[in-house]
Amino acid sequence: MFASILEMPIPFIVCTVMWFIHGFILDVVLINALPYLDPKASDAERVDKFPWALGGYKDYPRVDNLAPTHRRFMAENQAYALLRIAPIFFTSAPVLLLCVISYLIEAVAIMTEQVYYHAPPNSMLPQTLMAVFASVVTYASMTAPDGFIGDMSPNLLLGMKAVCGLCWVCFAIGLKASKGNEPLKAD
């Protein structure tokens, strides 16, 4: 498998590393295994990277490790992981489009927390990553040599570009909202 990865176009090698780190390490290990292995470290990660999974900001009570709200966040990220790891094994246009759509779904969720629930400014880190990751996959799809993605059509590529653009719209709206939000106070 490793040899086949090295035969890919460079943008897809970058994507494969990104999908492994974001889809597996972050979404599976950090978000889904760490709460069971080390609750204190899990809480620290939620403060730093996923404050909406912890709460404790304006009118949103703090959520304990493995409380129902936290477990729903964990399940949501298992679904994201599936969509973000899939292109490692299935390099097809629909799979790549679904991967980019997963970034938009998460970008909308983060933006909603930023705009309506006053998520702290450090919510911009994952918000930025959603737009950047969508851009990387879209760029890789746009520059793939003929035949690498055998089923890529102009309409699917246009859809991917539109979804990527919407990720950046979420970024801009989230950035504007986050500037007025209070930082999360660690207990």
Q: What is the pLDDT along the chain (187 residues), one digit of tens a residue?
A: 667 778 889 999 999 999 999 999 999 999 999 999 999 999 999 999 999 899 888 878 899 999 999 999 999 999 999 999 999 999 899 999 999 999 999 999 999 999 999 999 999 999 999 999 999 999 999 999 878 898 899 999 999 999 999 999 999 999 999 988 888 765 5
The residue type at 54: L
pLDDT at 55: 87
Query: Which residues have C-beta within 8 Å of that of residue 122, sequence separation ≥ 6?
Result: 48, 49, 51, 183, 184
CA distances in angstroms from 144 to 12, 119, 127, 156, listed in the order given: 8, 37, 26, 14
The verdict on pTM exceeding 0.85 is yes
pLDDT at 58: 82
pLDDT in tens, 50-59: 998 998 888 7
Residue extents of the structural domains in the chain: 2-178
- What per-residue string of b and e applies to 79-90 under the rule 16 or more CB within 10 Å gives b? ebbebbbbbbee
pLDDT at 1: 63
Tokens 């978000």 belong to 31
pLDDT at 122: 92
Cβ-contact 161, 138 below 8 angstroms: yes
